[in-house]
């Protein structure tokens, strides 16, 4: 079975979430929670630093944290909140955003301002309770549907 994601509606732009690299899970961003020296390095390199206090829709998720390590030895960790995140003109309401408190040198030296996860939540690293990924939220908010193709016919699961 092959699944294809289909965009259904569109929404407003949210400028604090730009220049994200696509990856497998969650929305992770450079933030004002990083040390001042990392923020300064990031700004000098042209990174956008997310400031939750500048978002009228930001809500801190008390007690929620995340931590991840990748095969190239890069790593990041931080806290979690929710916000409206726009992807390609589509506004995802109450999307969990993983705000970085610490990032490894690989991220400091990279060109992206964060990561945008486009997978299912089975690999989610948020503790104590996993959060829905952008794809899961887009489907549950009827912004996207999954079409399952079997042979020559298809059915839409929304």
* CB within 8 Å of 15: residues ≥ 6 apart: none
- pLDDT of 47-84, one tens digit each? 889 899 999 999 999 999 999 998 999 999 999 999 99
Q: How much is the pTM?
A: 0.75
Q: Positive or negative, the Cα torsion across 127, 133, 136, 138?
A: positive
pLDDT at 8 over 50: no
Domains of the chain: 2-157 (2.40.70.10)
Question: Could you count the other beta carbons within 10 Å of the beta carbon of residue 16?
Answer: 19
| Euclidean distance between CA atoms 4 and 144, whole angstroms | 10
What confidence tier does 95 reach under pLDDT thresholds 50, 70, 90?
A: very high
Q: Is the pLDDT of residue 94 over 50?
A: yes
Which pair of tokens denotes residue 145? 């549907």
């Amino acid at each position: 079975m092959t699944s294809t994601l289909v965009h259904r509606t569109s929404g407003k732009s949210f400028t604090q979430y730009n220049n994200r690299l696509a990856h497998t899970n969650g929305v992770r961003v450079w933030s004002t929670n990083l040390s001042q020296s990392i923020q300064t390095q990031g700004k000098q390199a042209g990174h956008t630093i997310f400031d939750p206090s500048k978002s009228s829709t930001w809500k801190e998720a008390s007690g929620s944290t995340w931590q991840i390590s990748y095969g190239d030895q890069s790593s990041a960790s931080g806290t979690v909140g929710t916000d409206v995140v726009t992807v390609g003109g589509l506004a995802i309401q109450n999307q969990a955003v993983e705000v970085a408190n610490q990032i490894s040198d690989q991220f400091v030296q990279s060109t992206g301002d964060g990561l945008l996860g486009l997978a299912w939540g089975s690999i989610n690293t948020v503790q104590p309770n996993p959060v829905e990924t952008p794809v899961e939220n887009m489907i549950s908010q009827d912004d996207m549907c999954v079409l399952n193709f079997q042979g020559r016919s298809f059915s839409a699961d929304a």
